[in-house]
Amino acid sequence: MSTVDSGKAYHNNRVGPVMRAGDLALAVIEAAKLDNPGKDIFVDDKRAYIRIHAEQEMILRQSTIEEELGRPFRMNDLEVDLSSFAGQIESRDDSVRFYFTKKL
């Protein structure tokens, strides 16, 4: 078993959702790529859950998720498969924004 020296903890500026694996998570990955042009989208697949993140800010739009799912989607339904998230979150009826106000 290893321990982490809290004085040397790893810090980053990545933000985004941690989703339960499934169709919605796959749609969110694609939506993240489309809704955040020019940004690197990092995907960490842990089988049971998928961490989707980008540096500093990530926006996910309802219309893009709907297009990727091929069916109607309400942004509130994101919470069903959202296990956790990194950063701060701003929810709207048609989008969600993950962000940091300060850089580490």
Q: Which CATH number is associated with domain 13-99? A: 3.90.56.10
pTM summary value? 0.85
Q: Show me where the domains of the chain are located.
A: 13-99
What are the pLDDT digits (tens) for 32-90?
A: 999 999 999 999 999 999 999 999 999 999 999 999 999 999 999 999 999 999 999 99
3-state secondary structure the chain: CCCCCHHHCCCCCEEEEEEECCHHHHHHHHHHHHHCCCCCCEEEECCCEEEEEEECEEEEEHHHHHHHHCCCCCHHHHHHHEEEEECEEEECCCEEEEECCCCC
